[in-house]
A = this chain, B = another copy of it.
Amino acid sequence: MNRRNVYLQMSSVADARARFLARFPWSDRRRGEDVSVADSVGRVLLEPAFARVSSPTYHGAAMDGIAVRARETWGASDLEPRELAVGEGAVYVNTGDAVPEGFDAVVMIEDVQAPDEDRVRIEAPAFPWQHVRKVGEDIVATEMLFPRHHRVTPWCTGALLAGGVATVTVVRKPRFLVIPTGDEMLDPSELGEGVPAGAIIESNSIVLAGLVTARGGAAFRHDGLRDDVDEIGRVIASGAETYDAVLVIGGSSAGARDFTKRAIERAGGEVLTHGVTVMPGKPTLLAAVGDTPVVGVPGYPVSAIVAFDEFVAPALDAMLGVHREERRIVSATPARKIASKLGMEELVRVRLGRVGGDLVASPLPRGAGTVTSITKADGILRIGTDLEGVHPDRPVDVELLRPRAEIERNLVAVGSHDLCLDVIDDMLREREAGVSLSSSHVGSLGGLKALANGRCHLAGSHLLDPEDGTYNRSWIARHLAGVPVKVVHLVTREQGLIVARGNPRGIGGVEDLTGSGVTFINRQAGSGTRVLLDYELSKRGIPAGDIAGYETEEFTHLAVAVAVLSGAADAGLGVLAAARALDLDFVPVTSERYELVIRDDFFDLAPVQRLLDVIRSPEFARRVEELGGYGTAETGRLVRRSG
């Protein structure tokens, strides 16, 4: 039976962080090291930097011309030019040359007449210090160039060197020991062609090491440890002596195999917080072993990132003595209702895009295990502990993860998924169009509804009208009444039954889905593929109830293919490319039209036009045809002009 931990008392993020940061004598443990100015970029000064010399170091000519004594030029005019002897009253200087002692002004060469080599003539007086860069004009010796805890930029190196500073004392990089744990973990260095059954590729230590490094720390990755509380405890204890902080990945939850809490206690540590009211990130564990902070980082990748952002990063900033940079906040409209658990702070990863006047936030998958939900995100929408969710009626604050300008160029597609959309996104990048395509997959009908509500620029759709065999037309008439749209043909594509390799059930077509022992995997209602299936069934007079698995729904072609690959189902309707992607067999059923429905009012936007340029290029057709199962004869044709 299981021996289980429990969360004794969960803390809010703010409370847990405050307790954690108050626990350690950060500034006492801050150490310095001397580095050359050239190597100091990105580092943080331990002490203020003072200029050792002035800059300029001498009075220098700021122009090519002659150096003069200003008083000797007074009264010069075009009627009464003043003549000066070269070498006495005037000395030729080039820009940057020292102004000779006793001289205090420079006359530009353009304003100097030279009747011969020994004389010059000027027709206007010079004022003192004209065209002279004076000693110390930029920097005066002994002045403070930068205060302590200043982060050195490339520009700063210019000021330091100009001030005669060749070496600076910077805060030594805080050293983080990163320890992955877990029996099932496969070290990335052992990654071959595939992954052994039941294994999980250990990626969190690389992510955390990258985050520590990017923020100015030094990360040291320990070899992965098995689930052995003694061994983990020993490594924590010795790490706490040698490093400035220890991160233990995995095992921080309250499950039977979660050893981190016990291992920290065995290492003589004090647990400050176990369990935080935040999702993802709940199983975070904050502890001290001596005066070394130890963080039990949850094993789900998004939880690990949240634990870093909320606890590890502020600790690293405190070690360096820098102030936390908050993410920029923008106001956005949720694309749909997002429910959340009362008492938990939820960090929803969202895509953002400017659709008409609104910045629209579309939620990405919410699972803590979905690392792509953070890599695809443009921002984070925090739903506070006191809320049960957010609603399109009320704007929300979103923390930006990408530059605002980049987000403003996002094209927002909502609707049916097709692999061609990835090709479009890649080609937009390849062309450096400065545009990217952000697509959410909610099925064709969901896309048309999002268009109607002004939540996207365009929708991919392949909705068959069973009455006349046309695509999209009647659906647009029904769901987009009064919203003028144009329709651009993207591709024709083969839909068919995705079956296991070798087709072990011998499925020859839709009629075989009722066969005994055959389990089907369906697509969600409102998807074009579901409409197609229902049409094909009704054409053959097959009742949906006769098909085992009809009620089990997936949201993408690839998810259907995965269900077949894993043996959860024997067949599902989908595109050839999805079957190919997972090396499955494919029984063709029919060919359909996949089109882009674009709102009239967005059609002339530059990003939309860039997308059309891509679609209409020969390279797009070539790349799509390589995927298999696609026809591009009409690709890019405007099949509905508006209305």
Contact = CB atoms under 8 A, between A and B. Distances in A.
Given A2-B109, A203-B158, A325-B405, A38 B209 contact: yes
A429 interface: yes
A188 B367 contact: no
Interface string A244-259: 0000000001011100
Interface stretch (A141-149, A232-240, A488-496): A141-149
Interface in A339-378: 365, 367, 369-372, 374-375
Chain A contact residues, majority secondary structure = loop
A241 interface: no
Interface stretch (A94-102, A268-276, A509-517, A599-607): A94-102
Contacts of A213: 41, 154
Interface residues on A, range: 35 or more
Contacts of A477: none
Contacts of A104: 568
Interface in A123-156: 128, 133-150, 153-156
A290 interface: no
Contacts of A562: 54, 134-136, 140
A138 B371 contact: yes
A2 B94 contact: yes
A214 interface: yes
A255 B219 CA distance: 51
Contact of A109 (B4, B159, B375): B4
A206 interface: yes
Interface of A: 1-2, 4, 37-38, 41-42, 48, 52-59, 62, 64, 92, 94-98, 101, 104, 109, 114, 117, 128, 133-150, 153-162, 164, 166, 182, 184, 188-189, 191, 193-195, 197-204, 206-211, 213-214, 253, 255-257, 299, 301, 305, 318, 321-323, 325-326, 328, 365, 367, 369-372, 374-375, 403-406, 422, 425-426, 428-430, 432, 434, 436, 552, 558-559, 561-563, 565-568, 580-582
30 contacts: A1-B114, A53-B194, A54-B562, A55-B201, A57-B200, A58-B197, A58-B198, A96-B182, A96-B200, A96-B257, A98-B198, A135-B566, A136-B562, A137-B367, A142-B580, A147-B425, A148-B430, A149-B430, A153-B210, A155-B207, A155-B305, A157-B210, A158-B305, A159-B371, A161-B188, A164-B195, A166-B189, A321-B430, A323-B406, A325-B403
Given A41-B214, A134-B559, A134-B566, 12 more contacts: A1-B92, A1-B117, A62-B369, A97-B184, A138-B369, A153-B210, A155-B375, A158-B374, A162-B371, A164-B195, A318-B432, A321-B432
